[in-house]
Amino acid sequence: MALRTLASRKTLAAAALPLAAAAAARGVTTVALPDLPYDYGALEPAISGEIMRLHHQKHHATYVANYNKALEQLDAAVAKGDAPAIVHLQSAIKFNGGGEAKSRPPYPFLAYGFLSFFFFVLFIAGDAGGGGSEELGGEGGGEPPHAKLGWAIDEDFGSFEALVKKMSAEGAALQGSGWVWLALDKEAKKLSVETTANQDPLVTKGANLVPLLGIDVWEHAYYLQYKNVRPDYLSNIWKVMNWKYAGEVYENATA
The piece of 12-20, 137-145, 169-177, 247-255 that touches other proteins (CB under 8 A) is: 169-177
Rounded-to-integer distance, Cα 214 and Cα 217, Å? 9
The piece of 67-75, 162-170, 175-183, 234-242 that touches other proteins (CB under 8 A) is: 175-183
Q: Does 178 bind other proteins (CB under 8 A)?
A: yes
Interaction mask 196-225, other proteins, x per CB under 8 A: -xxx------------------xxx--xx-
- Are the C-beta atoms of 72 and 89 separated by less than 8 Å? no
- Are the C-beta atoms of 175 and 165 separated by less than 8 Å? no
Output the smallest distance, CB 228 to other proteins, in A: 4
Residue 55 marked in a binding site: yes
User: What's the Cα-to-Cα distance from 179 to each of 115, 161, 213, 252, rounded to whole Å?
Assistant: 9, 20, 10, 23
Of the candidates 42, 54, 164, 210, which one interacts with other proteins according to CB under 8 A? Answer: 54
Rounded-to-integer distance, Cα 132 and Cα 75, Å? 40
Residue 146 marked in a binding site: no
Of the candidates 62, 66, 116, 133, which one interacts with other proteins according to CB under 8 A? Answer: 62
Angle of CA points 135, 139, 140, to nearest 5° = 80
Of the candidates 25, 228, 252, 255, which one interacts with other proteins according to CB under 8 A? Answer: 228
- Are the C-beta atoms of 174 and 195 separated by less than 8 Å? yes
Q: Which amino acid is at 230?
A: R
Residue 41: in which H helix or E strand, if any? Answer: none
Q: Are strands 190-197 and 178-185 parallel, antiparallel or unpaired?
A: antiparallel
Residues 99-158 that bind other proteins (CB under 8 A): 108
By beta-carbon proximity to other proteins, the closer residue of 5 and 228 is: 228
By beta-carbon proximity to other proteins, the closer residue of 175 and 252 is: 175
Binding site, by residue number, is 55, 216, 220
Provide the binding-site residues for other proteins, judged by CB under 8 A: 54, 58-59, 62, 108, 175-178, 197-199, 218-220, 223-224, 227-228
